[in-house]
Structure 1
C-alpha cells in the first residue's frame, strides 16, 4: 500500500465542527511566510497540487476582481472552475469554491481531519505547525485535486508571492495585478521591493501577465520574467484598455490584446481600476486560448465578463440614502475608490464608517477620508486583533482632519445604525477601510 493510503486515516474525527477548529487555531491566525510547512504537508499526502491546472494570481490590489472575471468567463464556456481567495466576505467557507458553490462544512472537516495526524506529527518532530491560512491552502489543494476536480483552478495569493503558502504550485499562467504599497513590514518599504516579492510566483517558462503598475514595479517584474524565460505580457504594452461609458450600474470599455480586439465589453464592477483588472483577466484568458487550446467564444467572454461579481468592491446595497461597501484598505485602492465615488454619485453629504488594521498606512487613509466626508464614524472589527481600537482611530482622524465631526463606536452594528440615523435620503453612507469591516457590515446590512 502506498504512502498516501497508509497515512490518511479517519478512524475518529479530531474536529466535529468548523467552529471547534477555529477556536483552536485562533492564536495562530497570523500569516506566516515560508513554504516549508505547506510543502511538508503536501509531500505527506502525495502532492495533490501537481494534478491541477492553475491560474496563479498575486498583486497588491485587484486579485479578487481579476480572479472572479477569469472564473466567470471560464464557467460561461462550460468549464468547471475552482477558486481560492481571501479574505471571505459572504461566509467563512467562501475561501474555497467550485462554480460559485462554497465548500461544505462536511467536506472541509473531512480534509482537516485527514490532515490533522500529520500536523500532530509536525509538533512531535519539532516542526512548526501550519498557520490558519496555510491549513486552508492545503485543504483547498486537496479538495480541488481529490474531491471536486474542477477543470481549472484560480488560486489567489494571501500575502506577497515568493513565500506565500500558495507558491508551491506550477501553474499554467502567473498573473500579477496592480502593485502598490501594502504589508510593508513583511514585504518591504518600496514598490520595487514589493514587486520583487509578488514576482516570486513567476515560474520558469510559464507565461506572466502583469497589470497596470508603475514603471518601477514593471521593470522589476519584467526582469525576473526574463531571467526565468517566462513569456511576458504587460498592460499598456501588450494589451490596452479604454473606457467608453460609465454609470452607477455598469461600465463599457474596449480592450486590445496581441491576439484580438474587443470593441465593446461591459462589467458591473465600477471604477477605472476594474477596467484595468478586466484587461488583465482578458489577456490571461487569451493566453489560455492560444497556448492551452481553451475554447472561448466571443459571446461567452462578453457574458462572463458582464456576470462577474465580487462583493464589497464599491458595492451599492442601498439607495436614498446611497449605501456603499468598499474593501479599499491601502492608499492606492482607497484613492481609486474615492475618485470613482465622487465621479459617479451626486449626494448632499457623505457619512463614512471606517475601521482599519494596524499594519496599514492609517494616517494617509484617514486624511483621504477627511477630504470627502463631513461626519466620520470610527469602529473596530469584531474578533480581529489587528483592528485599531475605535477611540484610537478617532484620535488619529482628529489630527489629520480637525474640521470634520468624528465619533468612535466600538460596535460595527451600532456604528452602522448611527450612520443611518444621521443620514437623510439625499446623503451617501460609505463603509470603507478594511475587507474585514465590509464582511461584518455586509452580514449585518444584507440580512436585516
Structure 2
C-alpha cells in the first residue's frame, strides 16, 4: 500500500502501459466490489469532440453559484493531476488521493489475475472519483466528462440526470471511426433511455444519428438552433456576450469570461442544462445564478490571454475543429496584429489540415516538440506543411519563448497552441518569463 503521494501517482501512471481498452466489464466488476458508488450520486454526463471541459466548467460554475456542492471528473489535467477529481473547482488534496489509491489498488491487483485483465489508468481514476463523490466526500451532483468516445468509455457506467453532447469532429478516428456518423454513434452511446439529451452538434448527418438514438430511447432532445438558441453575439475584450432563448424563457445579454464564438455554444448548452435541471429536477437555479456562473467560469488553456502587454495567448487546439475555431478568432479579433504561432502536437493526430490552417492564419509559424512519448518531432511537423516561407522550427521551445516574448512588439501577438499536454508543460514557463520581463 502507499504512504506517499509520489508512490500513488507512480502506480496510477504505471497503468498507462495497458493503453486504451474499450468496454465496461472491468468498471462494472470494480463497482460491484465497491458496493456501487455510482448509484448513490446524482450525475450529469458530458461528451463530445470539443467543448466538453468548457461546458463542464460553465455548468459547474452555474450550479456552484446556486449554492450546490459540485463534483467534477475531467481529463486531461492542466497543471496538476489532482484537478481531474475536484469539488467546486478545488482539486482533491494529496492525502485524499493516497487514500483513494489504497482503496482501488487491491481491486486492480485482483482484476489483473482475471480473464478481464487489469484496469487501465483511466478506469482506475474513474473508479476513484465515483468512490470519492459517493463515500469519502459526498456532493450534491457530480459532472462527468467522457474520456474517449462515449459508448465504451469507463464513465458510461453512470445513469445521469441528463446527458450533453457538445460537438462532433474527426478526432481519434482510428478508434471511433472516420465519418461524422460513426463518431456520432459512439458519442451517442452515453444517451440513456428516458434521460434528456442536450446537444450543440452542427453536422446534419451526426445530428441524425443522435436524434435517432434519442427517439429509440424516448429521451427528450434539446438541440442548439432548434429547442434553444443564441442571438446578439458580441465579442468582448475578455469574453463574449449573447442572448439566450428556450421554451423556458429568454435571458438577455449573458456574458462569459471565455473567448470564442464556440464558447457561446458551450455556454448555451450549459444554460439549457441548468434550465432542464431547474424545471424537471427541482434544482433551485435562478437567472442571477446563470449570469454569475457564466462570468466566473474559468477553464485554463482555452484561448487564455496570459498577458496583454506583450500580448500572449495560449489555446489547446489539438484537433482540426479546435484549430479552425482558433483561426476564426485570430481573423476576427487580431486582424490588425502580426501573428506568431508556436505549435506542438501529438504524432497520432491528423496534422495536415491543422497545419494548413495555421499556415494561413500565421505570419510566422514555428514548430516545436516536448518531452512526451507521443509528441511529434519538429521534423515530422515540417514535413507535413507546405514549402511556404513563413515556417521555422524551435527544437528547444523554452529558448524560443524566452527570446520571443522579450522581443514582442505592440503590433504583434504570440499564440502558443496544440496539444494540451504541451500547454500544461509550457504555461508555467511562459508565466515565469512574463514575470521576469
CA distance in 2, matches of 1:33, 1:430: 35
User: Are 1:313 and 2:302 an aligned pair?
Assistant: yes
| Aligned residue runs from structure 1 range 350-389, under 5 A | 350-382=339-371, 384-389=372-377
Aligned counterpart, 1:405: 391
SS of residue paired to 2:198: strand
Unaligned ranges ≥5, structure 1: 1-11
**Which residue number corresponds to residue 24 of structure 2?**
35
Q: Normalized against structure 2, the TM-score is what?
A: 0.95
1:197 aligns with 2:183: no
Look up the match of 1:5: none
Q: SS where residue 371 of structure 1 aligns?
A: helix
Secondary structure of 2:255's aligned partner: strand
Q: Which residue of 2 aligns with 1:157?
A: 146
Q: How does 1:278-297 map to 2 (within 5 A)?
A: 278-297=267-286
Q: CA deviation at 1:210?
A: 1.2
C-alpha change, 1:224 and 1:444, in structure 2 (3 Å) is same
Contact (CA 8 Å) 1:15, 1:21: kept in 2 or not? no
- In 2, Cα distance between equivalents of 1:43 and 1:243: 49
| 8 Å Cα contact 2:367-2:392 kept in structure 1 | yes
Tell me the residue number matched to 2:417.
Answer: 432
By how many angstroms is 1:258 displaced? Answer: 1.2
2:50 is equivalent to residue 61 of structure 1? yes
Shift of 1:446: 2.6
Q: Does 1:129 align with 2:115?
A: no
Unaligned runs of 5+ in 2: none
Aligned to 2:211: 222
Q: CA deviation at 1:407?
A: 1.4
Shift of 1:320: 3.0
Q: Does 1:24 align with 2:14?
A: yes
Q: How many residues align?
A: 432
Match of residue 392, structure 1, among 360, 380, 392: 380
Partner-residue secondary structure (3-state), 1:246: strand
Name the residue aligned to 1:414.
399
After TM superposition, what 4+ stretches of structure 1 lie above 6 angstroms from structure 2? none
How far the C-alpha of 1:325 sits from its partner, in A, is 0.5
Instruction: After TM superposition, give the deviation of residue 380 of structure 1 in Å.
Output: 1.8
Q: Aligned partners of 2:188 and 2:319: how far apart in 1? A: 20
Q: How far off is 1:346 after superposition?
A: 4.7
| TM-score between both structures, scaled by the size of structure 1 | 0.93
Give the equivalent residue in structure 2 for 1:8: none
Q: Is residue 254 of structure 2 the alignment partner of residue 269 of structure 1? A: no
| 8 Å contact kept, 1:320–1:427 | no
The 8 Å contact of residues 366 and 392 in structure 2, kept in 1 or not, is answered as yes
> Contact conserved, 1:15 with 1:113, CA < 8 A, in 2?
no
What is residue 73 of structure 2 aligned with on the other side? Answer: 84
> Does the 8 Å CA contact 1:66/1:281 hold for their aligned counterparts?
yes
1:44 to 28, 33, 51: 33
Report the Cα offset of residue 374 of structure 1: 2.7
8 Å Cα contact 1:353-1:419 kept in structure 2? no
Q: Which residue pairs with 2:243 in the alignment?
A: 254
Q: Matched residues in 2 for 1:352 and 1:139: separation? A: 38
Shift in CA distance, 415/135, structure 1 to aligned 2, threshold 3 Å: farther
In structure 2, relative to structure 1, the CA distance for the partners of 1:119 and 1:20 (3 Å cut) is same
SS in 2 for 1:265: strand
Is 1:444–2:426 an aligned residue pair? no
Give me the whole-angstrom Cα distance separating, in 1, the residues matched to 2:220 and 2:168: 19
Q: Secondary structure at the match of 2:72?
A: strand
Q: Is the 8 A contact 1:248 1:344 kept in 2?
A: no
Q: CA deviation at 1:422?
A: 5.2
The C-alpha deviation readout for 1:327-384, integer Å capped at 9, x for no partner, is 11111121111111221125542111111112221011110110122322212232x2
Structure 1 residues 298 and 14 mapped into 2: Cα distance closer, same or farther (>3 Å)?
A: same
Q: CA deviation at 1:23?
A: 5.4
Partner of residue 3, structure 1: none
* Distance in 1 separating the partners of 2:20 and 2:404: 33
Q: Distance in 2 between matches of 1:306 and 1:317?
A: 18
Which shifted more, 321-330 or 74-83? 321-330
